[in-house]
Chain A
């Protein structure tokens, strides 16, 4: 399969464009998505291509337009909503949780809500605590939702297409710190199923289960560690709900040493859940306690040295792996 180099931003846009061409019921709505092309330019050019009926600029009214997207999804449309920063999702929690996630179950299977909500996570831009959070874990707690956290252009495109075609509400979290990351994307059309993890690098000594930007950090840590003879396996769940437990457990059983790294707050988050899954089903394969790496449990600060101190990086993964290798079962 021939490929070309493309950024995550461009890969998502290509996925959106292909799905909009494929299905007339797909439309995009959100703040500044049309004329301005989105604050991160993911939807740039779509207005010119598909017109204002299918690329809709909304007022700044998250509860209103997310609620409307639920109503549109219930009546035959396939909306793709953009929430500029995931911090703003707090304003739209009722339509997402109480309506979108619950309505199929609550109506005994009558309703379908084929809705995709795209939003951004990630700290590192000195944007302070209301534009920098990674609160994807909140949605993993809600039955009825699906949660996607892509880490590469290839994955982002294949997953956004599957998210749009999915008949459930899919929360699609784009890491704003890796929009410019480039990688190979096939020329031909392809889809990636939701709920399928991928081993991004094969290794023998330590498993690093990482999400979004942390996958890149884990790959960089693996390069550094290989110089000291430590072989690291990097596993990317790609979707957190549903979670491909099998792939995660297989790797944990193989290496016996596990690090879980995610950009959300460390407490009560993604790392805690994944560590529990491994504890429950791979405990007797472990050589050492699981190490969790997440963002510091503080609101994301503004000033650079403070902000940097809250963000998990390759350095933390390297330290954790060295620690694991010195511990004996």
Chain B
């Protein structure tokens, strides 16, 4: 794959931003600065970043309850994200959505759902809308191995394949649906093999390798833009953290398994590769890492300084 230095550095920066942002949320959560739940994306950064690197700003994505990574990769702003997670009025949704429902329609990020598989229909509809409007956009539908067992996936995949809509299903197989290993609840050997039934392309990629995800998505995007219809990409990755912050000692996996996956950590891997290929110097890497940390720290400060919403707003936005 021939990717220029700038693009590589940008992917490194985005993956690191996601990692640091999620670590900040973990901290914010433990300090009691945010209410509710936080589902962290740590470990899976290559999937969101690789897939979104194949997209244009005009393209759409839909996200999941584990959605902060998708937001960052599609260009959402950290300050508004952090304020939303903290339930503050300057958040993307004025504090009405929280961690699981960040959306930025201007960035093409159509939202996330607390219902597992809840955005699959929306993504398929956005792709249908593109076809009906005759634009050259595409839609990426992120979903997990857990959502792969929801009926709406099959229903929409049938229609997307039948009508050749510009849709790319990106399954993040992070090995766990909530607290269950995916194999315990899934008969299929590979989620991507669903594609065979609908006669569309289906590939399994190393979801710990951002370049592999990028390449697979580029192929699917090209096909979608040409009007040839949907594809499915199963990115095999790993959820380093529990289902949510607070799910601290999962008994559904071993420490050894986690450590094994961490040896293939996507961020470290890309950093090492870029150093080896002389496209990133130690000095540049450190400067970039400091800048990322500064932006994340700033988002926490922004969130903390944003007011809580006024109670008068509780009845706003029910109807247009």
Residues on A facing B (Cβ under 8 Å): 25, 27, 53-54, 58-59, 61, 63-77, 94-95, 98-99, 103-112, 114, 143-144, 146, 166-168
Contact = CB atoms under 8 A, between A and B. Distances in A.
B97 A106 contact: yes
Nearest to B100: A106
Given A106-B101, A108-B92, 17 more contacts: A27-B132, A59-B159, A61-B155, A63-B155, A65-B155, A68-B122, A71-B121, A71-B123, A72-B126, A74-B126, A75-B126, A99-B113, A99-B118, A107-B317, A108-B93, A108-B317, A110-B103
A76 B129 contact: yes
Nearest to B163: A56
Contacts of A75: 60, 110, 125-126, 129-130
13 contacts: A64-B124, A65-B155, A67-B121, A67-B152, A75-B130, A95-B121, A103-B111, A104-B319, A106-B93, A108-B317, A110-B104, A114-B320, A143-B318
List the 7 closest A-B pairs by CB distance, nearest first: A67-B121, A71-B125, A64-B155, A68-B125, A108-B94, A167-B320, A108-B93
Given A67-B120, A70-B125, A71-B123, A108 B156 contact: no
Nearest to A61: B155
A70 B122 contact: yes
Contacts of A108: 91-97, 317
A174 to B, nearest CB: 23
Contact of B110 (A25, A58, A74, A94): A74
A287 B213 CA distance: 73
Interface in B138-188: 151-152, 155-156, 158-159, 162
Contacts of B132: 27, 53-54, 72, 77
B122 A99 contact: yes
Contacts of A104: 317-320
Contacts, number: 146
Nearest to B102: A107
A104 B111 CA distance: 11
A25 B110 CA distance: 19
A63 B316 contact: no
Given A75-B110, A104-B319, A67 B93 contact: no
A291 to B, nearest CB: 32
B158 A59 contact: yes
A63 B118 CA distance: 10
B94 to A, nearest CB: 4
B320 A112 contact: yes
Contact of A71 (B129, B316, B319): B129
B248 interface: no
B115 interface: yes
Contact of B121 (A58, A63, A168): A63
Contacts of A72: 125-126, 128-129, 132
Contacts of B92: 107-108, 110
B125 A74 contact: yes
A168 B103 CA distance: 18
A61 B103 contact: no
Contacts of B96: 105-108
A105 to B, nearest CB: 5
Q: Which of B60, B120, B320 has the most CB of A within 10 A?
A: B320
B125 to A, nearest CB: 2
Nearest to B93: A108
A305 to B, nearest CB: 38
Contacts of A112: 320
A71 B318 contact: no
A66 B121 contact: yes
B146 to A, nearest CB: 15
B133 interface: yes
Contacts of A107: 92-93, 96-97, 101, 103, 105, 111, 317
Contacts of B316: 109
Contacts of A27: 132
B93 A64 contact: no
Given A64-B155, A107-B97, A77 B320 contact: no
A200 B118 CA distance: 42
A110 B158 contact: no
Contact of A68 (B94, B124, B133, B151): B124
Contacts of A67: 120-122, 124-125, 152, 156
A167 B319 CA distance: 8
Given A59-B159, A68-B159, A109 B317 contact: yes
A64 B94 contact: no
Nearest to B152: A63
A61 B158 contact: yes
Given A59-B158, A63-B152, A68 B91 contact: no
Nearest to A242: B319
Interface string B59-100: 010100000000000000000000000000001111111000
A110 B105 CA distance: 7
Contact of A105 (B118, B120, B318): B318
Contacts of B156: 61, 64, 67-68
Contacts of B317: 104-105, 107-109
A139 B59 CA distance: 33
B267 to A, nearest CB: 30
Nearest to B160: A68
Nearest to B158: A59
Contacts of B111: 74, 103, 106-107, 111
Q: Most A CB atoms within 10 A — which of B113, B122, B159?
A: B122
Nearest to A66: B121
Contacts of B126: 71-72, 74-75
Contacts of B62: 71
Contact of A74 (B97, B122, B158): B122
Interface in B41-67: 60, 62
